Amino acid sequence: MKKFLLVFLSFFVVATISAQETPTPNYRAAAKYSPTNLAKMVHSTSVSPHWLKKGNRFWYAYKTSEGANYYLVDADKKSKKSLFDNVKMAKWLTEITKDPYDAKHLPRLDIKFNEAEDAIRFRVTSTEEVEVIDDKKEVKKDSTSSKKGKSKKPKKEKKVYHLEYKLGGNGLTIIDTIKKEKEDWKKWANIAPDSSIVLYSKNYNLYWMDKMNFKKFIKDEKDSTVVENQWTKDGEENYAYGRGSRGDNVDKEKNKDKRNGVGGVWSHDSKKFVFQKSDSRHIKDLWVINSTGKKRPTLETYKYHMPGEQEYYKSELLIFDIPTKTHVKVPLDTIKQQSISVFRAPRKQSSRDDEFRPSLLLSKKGKVYFSVISRDRKKYDINVADINTGEYKTLIEERFNTYIESRPLILLNDEKEMLHWAERDGWAHFYLYDTDGNLKNQVTEGDYHVASFEGLDEKNRTLYFSANGVNKEQDPYYAHSYKISLNGTGLKTLNPGDFTSSTSMSDSNKYFVSNFSRVNTIPKSELRNANGRKVMDLETADLSQLFASGYKFPETFKVKADDGITDIYGVMYKPFDMDSTKVYPLLEYVYPGPQTEAVNKSFSYSMDRVDRMAQVGFIVITLGNRGGHPDRSKWYHNYGYGNLRDYGLADKKYVAQQLANKHKFIDIEKVGIYGHSGGGFMSTAAMLVYPDFFKAAVSSAGNHDNNVYNSWWSETHHGVKEEIDEKGKISHVYKIDDNQSLAKNLKGHLMLIHGDMDNNVNPAGTIRMANELIKANKRFKYMIMPGQRHGFGNMTEYSFWLRADHFSKYLLGKEATDADIKFMNLDKPMNK
């Protein structure tokens, strides 16, 4: 009996300890890091340079807990100084506007340099109200014509000061006090580089105005003498010259006669305009309903091509001649199902703040470079067309058994050579060609991924680019800048270090700004020259208030994929008040790729989906998976080709098991998973493919049935098979596993969330998932976000607390039952 009592008491003690090991949900800690609160603790984390046109100079704004400061950097002189004295600026603004300012509390300044680049200009809105002056409205001379006894109250608006500050000066000059007019014409007017003509779309056709009439229109858009000219007459809805009216069907009908933008690319001399016309008349419609916006619910209809449908968009490439008002068509085979893209001239860094930035053709010499990719994305051609005749030839062909990716083409050496980016050897690299399409040499080579072009010193034949995985001792996702000779020699790292970086290079290719950090370091910014030598430190992010709140950096980890060979990299987020005597449920925040992975590599204070969820009482991890991010080998990236539902799940499961074996604080019996869009799809799939492992999931905006998702994503990353019958007829076959076919497998606790106006991932996918769960007699949660698109907009915060409630109930054992989400209300003043 005594022995039995001891055993019973031991069991009771163990059971009691075990029951206490799971933490209590800490909503207050999570609320501390709401987006509203974070905005008060973290300000600038990177330098965004505005390069000037004269010299190697740039300005930038940087905000800390002491306020915002503006700086001017001269790289040649190795100098950094304040653009102005904040104390003096506050004094001048106060004196002019009669509104009080101090050095820490200046208005946000939208700065523009003048043409001489020796002064800055900006507008400041005062609290003073003045009468609205409408110089476009005719004033009646006979004031007695108004109704007796009724004098109309003049309309008022806040006074706006347009100010100029001469660099190094001792005061502000008032340019004018005219409010900047709404420039609605910018939404539709495509102005030629020399401003001689303006193109736009109206009633689905191409129209134009000359410079004189456009000026008249800007002055008074109701001027009846403005002459508009119709160029084409064959445009119709879904086969238009330019954008059609958008929105619900009521608004589309109301706005059908309004001017719309016409996207296209100009020749450098303004004499040609290249336009890609798309025929989607035969593409089937899709719909969402706006139930909250107007008195009556309205229907929104849009064209949406789904994978495996035999129809496809038909693309034409037209070259318009401005002087003669004629056009030619590039003789492409419109029967082939393919997509077209015209290469454009890269924009200069110094044009960032320009009011006018026309889109220009890559070539200055009367050539139109464009690419064509087949529907199955396995055949990619780079072509060049004569700008006068439209006749074209193919210069480069890429062929692969999975999908082909691309980057912009680069012309150099007076357009005698071109740089082409391709993954033909299993890694992304640059190849040097002549402009007849003959390969000269491979510029970059090796088992690393060239991510993007950054600059080119043609005189010294030096290429600047960013890449991943060059240093085998580092996380392969860490991006750095490099230079290499066009003959493939002299590869050099320009911003070395154990971190990832983003850069902005000057137009001269002599200097670049590098912003760098890891998830567990304070972000820093510096200026380096083209040889990689550091010129100066620029900024270190001010995280003092964030750390004062109790914030702690997350931890990185490296484990193996389910094959036991492939390295998987991830980040672990813990509660900041973690109790070593307790074990914590594990949550995985997922996005399967293949275009990216949900794993931060640099410091981020967008904590909503990871850091903040951990504070509720969980260990949260983000991790890659085979078939994920393209910044590794093409093998890694394309691993999921042909198996777009299950390809990443085994890695997600095995990584969790490895981490639990390593860390005693992880409760491997309580694993949850969540994600948005592709992550919503993946989290539900995980619950159904491994129902005994994943115990709870929150799946938002998921594309659960890729048969009703857009064809570009599904057919690209999963694959569509092109078949030709004995008569030569081509058909496209698409077959993919969906989530709802496994509905019967559900054992854990699933929540589905979707916006009812999601015109990216249509709600049909989630509705079909719910339908099959109901048929299988399964309990699950289902939430519609009224009026929300693919992102949940102003309901994002609400969705966070739905997720917290779900995992708290099913993994921490405590359910929130109050009607009010009180921690949302804490951020809102209850003054109404």
Q: pLDDT digit string (tens) for 510-546?
A: 999 999 999 999 999 999 999 999 999 999 999 999 9
Listed residues 519, 540, 561: the one ending a domain: 540
Listed residues 511, 540, 569: the one ending a domain: 540
What is the distance between the alpha carbons of residues 670 and 40, in angstroms, rounded to a whole number?
A: 34
* Helical pair 649-662 and 678-689, crossing angle rounded to 10 deg: 70
pLDDT at 242: 87
Query: How far from 611 is each of 44, 339, 600, 629, CA to CA, in Å?
Result: 19, 41, 11, 22
Q: Over the stretch 370-410, which tens digit does the pLDDT of each residue have?
A: 999 999 999 999 999 999 999 999 999 999 999 999 999 99
Q: What is the DSSP code string of 623-640? A: E--TT--TTS-HHHHTTT
Residue 808 backbone dihedrals phi, psi, to 5 degrees: -65, -40
206 membership: H or E segment, kind and range:
strand 205-210
Q: Are residues 444 and 469 in the same domain?
A: yes
Q: Are residues 612 and 510 in the same domain?
A: no
- Judged by phi (left if over 0) then psi (alpha if -120 to 50, else beta), residue 720 lies in beta
Q: What is the DSSP code string of 210-222? A: EHHHHHHHHH-TT
pLDDT at 516: 98
Is a pLDDT exceeding 90 seen at residue 728? Answer: no
Only one residue has tokens 């209850």, namely 830
Rounded mean pLDDT of 303-313? Answer: 94
Q: Are residues 450 and 436 in the same domain?
A: yes
Q: Are residues 444 and 324 in the same domain?
A: no
Domain membership of residue 286 (yes or no) is yes
- Cα three-residue angle 372-375-376, rounded to 5 degrees: 115
CA atoms within 13 Å, Cβ hemisphere of 716: 16
Q: Over the stretch 441-493, which tens digit does the pLDDT of each residue have?
A: 999 999 999 999 999 999 999 999 999 999 999 999 999 999 999 999 999 99
Q: Are residues 555 and 695 in the same domain?
A: yes
Domain membership of residue 148 (yes or no) is no
pLDDT at 249: 82
Which of 151-155, 635-639, 695-699, 828-832 shows the lowest mean pLDDT across its residues? 828-832
What residue type is assigned to position 161 of the chain? Answer: Y
Name 498's Cβ contacts closer than 8 Å, sequence gap at least 6.
474, 478, 518
- Judged by phi (left if over 0) then psi (alpha if -120 to 50, else beta), residue 98 lies in left
Lookup: tokens for 276? 């890609």
What is the distance between the alpha carbons of residues 686 and 695, in angstroms, rounded to a whole number?
A: 10
Is a pLDDT exceeding 90 seen at residue 670? Answer: yes
pLDDT at 829: 76
Q: Are residues 455 and 602 in the same domain?
A: no
Domain membership of residue 14 (yes or no) is no
pLDDT at 149: 53
Name 687's Cβ contacts closer than 8 Å, sequence gap at least 6.
673, 694, 697, 745, 746, 747, 748, 750
pLDDT at 151: 63
Residue 306 backbone dihedrals phi, psi, to 5 degrees: -100, 155
Domain membership of residue 272 (yes or no) is yes
Name 58's Cβ contacts closer than 8 Å, sequence gap at least 6.
49, 50, 51, 52, 72, 73, 75, 506, 513
What is the distance between the alpha carbons of residues 677 and 701, in angstroms, rounded to a whole number?
A: 5
Rounded mean pLDDT of 642-668? Answer: 96
What is the distance between the alpha carbons of residues 123 and 141, in angstroms, rounded to a whole number?
A: 34
Strand 449-457 relative to strand 439-442: parallel, antiparallel, unpaired?
A: unpaired
Domain membership of residue 484 (yes or no) is yes
Per-residue pLDDT band at 133 (split at 50, 70, 90): confident
Q: Over the stretch 403-431, which tens digit does the pLDDT of each residue have?
A: 999 999 999 999 999 999 999 999 999 99
Is a pLDDT exceeding 80 seen at residue 4? Answer: no
In terms of residue numbers, what domain contains 124? 50-131+155-183
Rounded mean pLDDT of 274-302? Answer: 93
Is a pLDDT exceeding 90 seen at residue 53? Answer: yes
Is a pLDDT exceeding 50 seen at residue 6? Answer: no
Q: Are residues 441 and 581 in the same domain?
A: no
In 3D space, the residue among 569, 587, 576 whose CA is nearest the CA of residue 553 turns out to be 576
Domain membership of residue 734 (yes or no) is no
What is the distance between the alpha carbons of residues 494 and 516, in angstroms, rounded to a whole number?
A: 13
Lookup: tokens for 339? 């997509």
Which of 36-40, 387-391, 434-438, 542-546 shows the lowest mean pLDDT across its residues? 36-40
Q: Over the stretch 259-273, which tens digit does the pLDDT of each residue have?
A: 999 999 999 999 999
Listed residues 365, 383, 405: the one ending a domain: 405
Q: Are residues 372 and 386 in the same domain?
A: yes
Q: Are residues 512 and 623 in the same domain?
A: no
Is a pLDDT exceeding 70 seen at residue 144? Answer: no
Compare 609 and 742 and report the one with higher pLDDT. Answer: 742
pLDDT at 136: 52
Q: Are residues 608 and 535 in the same domain?
A: no
CB atoms within 10 A of CB 289: 14
Report CA dihedral (487, 488, 490, 492) to the nearest 10 degrees.
130
Q: What is the DSSP code string of 766-822? A: HHHHHHHHHHTT---EEEEETT--SS-GGGHHHHHHHHHHHHIIIIIS-----SS-H
Domain membership of residue 278 (yes or no) is yes
Q: Are residues 334 and 382 in the same domain?
A: yes
Is a pLDDT exceeding 60 seen at residue 15? Answer: no
Per-residue pLDDT band at 132 (split at 50, 70, 90): confident
Residue 784 backbone dihedrals phi, psi, to 5 degrees: -100, 130
Which of 15-29, 313-327, 555-569 shows the lowest mean pLDDT across its residues? 15-29
pLDDT at 145: 46
**What mean pLDDT value characterizes the chain?**
92
Is a pLDDT exceeding 70 seen at residue 2? Answer: no
pLDDT at 148: 52
Is a pLDDT exceeding 50 seen at residue 561? Answer: yes
Per-residue pLDDT band at 150 (split at 50, 70, 90): low
Per-residue pLDDT band at 293 (split at 50, 70, 90): confident
Length of the chain equals 832
Domain membership of residue 806 (yes or no) is yes
Which of 296-305, 436-445, 748-757 shows the lowest mean pLDDT across its residues? 296-305
Report CA dihedral (123, 129, 134, 140) to the nearest 10 degrees.
-160
Residue 821 backbone dihedrals phi, psi, to 5 degrees: -90, 90
R_g of the chain computed on alpha carbons = 30
What is the distance between the alpha carbons of residues 607 and 616, in angstroms, rounded to a whole number?
A: 13
Per-residue pLDDT band at 10 (split at 50, 70, 90): very low
Residue 666 backbone dihedrals phi, psi, to 5 degrees: -95, 125
Peptide bond into 594 cis (omega under 30): yes
pLDDT at 135: 54
In 3D space, the residue among 108, 151, 156, 37 whose CA is nearest the CA of residue 608 turns out to be 37
What is the distance between the alpha carbons of residues 682 and 478, in angstroms, rounded to a whole number?
A: 25
Q: What is the tally of structural domains in the chain? A: 4
In 3D space, the residue among 298, 375, 304, 308 whose CA is nearest the CA of residue 764 turns out to be 304
Q: Are residues 533 and 674 in the same domain?
A: no
Strand 749-755 relative to strand 781-785: parallel, antiparallel, unpaired?
A: parallel
pLDDT at 832: 62
* 750, 780 contact by CB (below 8 A): yes
